[in-house]
């Protein structure tokens, strides 16, 4: 939690004024029993109704001042807590964006969503309650004890015994419940993970008739969360009855002591009432403190989980031997980048990408996903990558823009290790279309602008023409201003893929990676797309990842992968003669002896 308090720095004034006004409210509240004692002893005892009305006015004035202080304190506490949560949420989101694919895989999407929503909300509630009650409740508890001593020392000894007992109960329960609430949040992660998995994969679940299995697995996860929450709830529920028992026993002892001392004339009836009122104030404040501690306990557990993500460092470290390059316009606009002692590329060499005995293993994986990748790609070449499911095709191309870093070996771009490039410049020269077509809510124009913020309508239409998307975009109402729903739900699979390809083409990349991004296209559209890309720019290097032999058979070089190893490398004709894996793939898609 200490690591997160830095986000309250901008709200120092509110963080001070909130508790300060709460202390003022508490101070006025401590005078109330004394006024009531005066009313009983002087007003009621002597029948002085004028004095009673006078003291009643004092009570009303104390209540009005207390209400004003309370509302003011609530305002400052709420402002500080919401501002704190807003800053924390922005920082956490920005930090998550800086993490590599490896960390994202390790944390999990559902866990990150929990951190961004539920955990931060719990911490916000904790900060709000702490600013309002953390000083007020102890102040009233100890203030009431001190005021009791001003009335009668012997009777006040009941307070001296009661308050430590209550502190032991309250703080003991808090210390035990903190790790239990951490388990609750972990169980919540699992439930959210199952929920997200079922909602995103609902069509597949129904297609394979696995509804009952998924319902059973969700019920197990939900029951696990329920049992942990019930256990924590039962445990923390002891706080209220135990504190009530201690307080009521203390009140009985106080009334007995007060009655004895009233009989001997040491105390008045009004003073006994005041002592009971102070004990009642302690009871109320300890109930509030119990609620505060439960909330703070949850907040501490959630804060630790948030801090764990913020402490996580990206495995993709940029070379620190050069000064950070500042771009006034954008990463892809090379002219606006001020370079300092760093060559962006070697214009002389024809070799653009080189893999030197590259191996790669995912974190905590039992074996390597790629083994001894060794090949060279020249500028302007088209490279086809083919292989069975799980052979490492996507993993291979993900090493080029440094979504992952090679475990061993080197990936070179223009003769330099990709690790030596600033990520913004490296990725600014690469256009990549991932397997899953992802579009964002907004217009087609806004989605294409992700590729190039400076792109005009002409550049967008050229990219759409090349991606074979111009025809259906013209048919949409508004054309480029057609509104796409979240995830592209109002578009077909083929339309989404073509728009993501157009988005990559808009930036005019030096390297274009199509990672099985035409799987939803028919053969004719796929062929037209590849033909249009070849016409675009002779200097653009294209990587085509596909399970279709027809998509890569005309490539300058084809890499055949099997179980993370290159088992074939060359042209279509050469591989058809010498590579058994390629032959198996090809002849499973075309009748033997015939080519399309």
SS (H, E, C) 214-231: HHHHHHHHHHHHHHHHHH
User: Tens digits of per-residue pLDDT, 93-147?
Assistant: 998 888 888 888 788 777 888 888 888 998 999 899 888 888 888 888 888 888 8
Q: What pLDDT is stored for residue 1 in this prediction?
A: 64
Residue 372: C-alpha distances to residues 40, 291, 396, 408, 462 (Å): 93, 60, 11, 9, 39
The pTM for the full model equals 0.70
Residue 315 near residue 171, CB atoms below 8 Å = no
The 10 Å Cβ neighbour count of residue 148 is: 24
Placement of tokens 């499973």 in the chain: 588
In the CATH hierarchy, which fold is given to the domain comprising 2-311? ABC transporter transmembrane region fold (1.20.1560)
Question: What local confidence, expressed as pLDDT, does residue 354 receive?
Answer: 93
pLDDT at site 322: 43
- Sequence-distant (6+) residues with CB within 8 A of 324 are 422
| Class of the CATH domain delimited by 436-508 | alpha beta
Contact between 568 and 578 (Cβ < 8 Å): yes
Amino acid 523: pLDDT: 82
What pLDDT score was predicted for residue 513? 92
pLDDT averages per 10-residue partition of the chain, 596 residues: 80 89 88 85 80 88 90 92 92 87 80 86 89 84 84 82 82 77 81 84 88 90 90 80 83 84 82 84 77 80 87 74 41 42 50 91 83 91 90 91 90 90 88 87 90 87 90 89 87 89 90 85 84 79 89 91 92 91 88 51
**pLDDT reported for residue 413:** 92
Give the residue range(s) of CATH 3.40.50.300 domains in the chain: 436-508
- The Cα–Cα gap between 275 and 281 comes to 10
**Closest by Cα among 430, 499, 429 to 463:** 499
Listed in order, the ranges of the chain carrying CATH 1.20.1560.10 are 2-311
Q: Give Cα 336 distance to the centre of its chain.
A: 33
Note whether 406 and 359 are within 8 A (CB): yes
The answer to whether 10 and 80 are in contact (CB under 8 A) is: no
Model pLDDT, residue 88: 92
């Amino acid at each position: 939690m200490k690591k997160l308090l830095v986000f309250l720095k901008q709200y120092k004034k509110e963080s001070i004024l909130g508790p300060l006004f709460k202390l003022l409210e508490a101070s006025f509240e401590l005078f109330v029993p004394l006024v009531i004692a005066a009313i009983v002893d002087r007003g009621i005892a002597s029948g002085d109704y004028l004095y009673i009305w006078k003291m009643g006015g004092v009570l009303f004035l104390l209540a009005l001042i207390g209400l004003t202080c309370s509302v003011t304190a609530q305002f400052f506490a709420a402002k500080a807590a919401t501002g704190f949560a807003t800053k924390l949420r922005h920082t956490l989101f920005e930090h998550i964006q800086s993490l590599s694919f490896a960390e994202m895989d390790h944390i999990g999407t559902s866990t990150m969503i929990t951190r961004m929503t539920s955990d931060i909300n719990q911490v916000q509630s904790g900060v709000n309650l702490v600013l309002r009650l953390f000083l007020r409740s102890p102040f009233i508890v100890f203030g009431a004890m001190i005021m009791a001593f001003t009335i009668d020392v012997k009777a006040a000894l009941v307070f001296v015994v009661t308050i430590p007992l209550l502190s032991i109960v309250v703080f003991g329960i808090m210390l035990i419940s903190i790790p239990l609430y951490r388990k609750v949040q972990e169980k919540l992660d699992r439930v959210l993970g199952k929920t997200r998995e079922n909602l995103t994969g609902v069509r597949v679940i129904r297609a394979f008739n696995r509804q009952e299995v998924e319902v059973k697995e969700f019920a197990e996860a939900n029951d696990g969360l329920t049992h942990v929450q019930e256990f924590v709830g039962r445990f923390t529920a002891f706080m209220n009855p135990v504190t009530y028992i201690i307080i009521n026993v203390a009140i009985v002892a106080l009334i007995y002591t007060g009655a004895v001392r009233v009989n001997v004339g040491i105390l008045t009836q009004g003073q006994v009432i005041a002592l009971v009122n102070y004990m009642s104030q302690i009871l109320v404040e300890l109930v509030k403190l119990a609620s505060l501690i439960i909330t703070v306990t949850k907040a501490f557990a959630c804060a630790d989980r948030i801090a764990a993500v913020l402490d996580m460092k990206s495995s993709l470290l940029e070379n620190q031997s050069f000064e950070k390059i500042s771009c006034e316009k954008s990463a892809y606009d090379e002219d606006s980048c001020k370079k300092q002692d760093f060559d962006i590329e070697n214009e002389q060499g024809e070799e653009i990408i080189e893999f030197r005995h590259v191996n790669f293993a995912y974190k905590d994986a039992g074996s390597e996903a790629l083994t001894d990748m060794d090949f060279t790609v020249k500028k302007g070449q088209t490279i086809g990558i083919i292989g069975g499911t799980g052979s490492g095709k996507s993993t291979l191309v993900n090493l080029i823009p440094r979504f992952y870093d090679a475990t061993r070996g080197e990936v070179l771009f223009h003769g330099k290790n990709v690790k030596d490039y600033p990520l913004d410049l490296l990725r600014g020269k690469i256009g990549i279309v991932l397997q899953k077509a992802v579009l964002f809510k907004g217009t087609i124009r806004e989605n294409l602008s992700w590729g190039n913020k400076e792109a005009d309508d002409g550049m967008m239409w050229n990219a759409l023409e090349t991606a074979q998307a111009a025809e259906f975009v013209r048919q949409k109402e508004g054309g480029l201003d057609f509104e796409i729903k979240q995830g592209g739900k109002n578009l077909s699979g083929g339309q989404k893929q073509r728009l993501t390809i157009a988005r990559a083409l808009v930036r005019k990349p030096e390297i274009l990676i199509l990672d099985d991004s035409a799987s939803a296209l028919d053969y004719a559209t796929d062929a037209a797309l590849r033909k249009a890309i070849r016409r675009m720019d002779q200097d653009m290097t294209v990587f085509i990842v596909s399970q279709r032999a027809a998509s890569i058979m005309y490539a300058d070089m084809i890499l055949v992968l099997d179980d993370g190893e290159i088992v074939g490398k060359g042209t279509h004709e050469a591989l058809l003669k010498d590579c058994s894996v390629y032959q198996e793939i090809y002849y499973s898609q075309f009748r033997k002896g015939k080519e399309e």
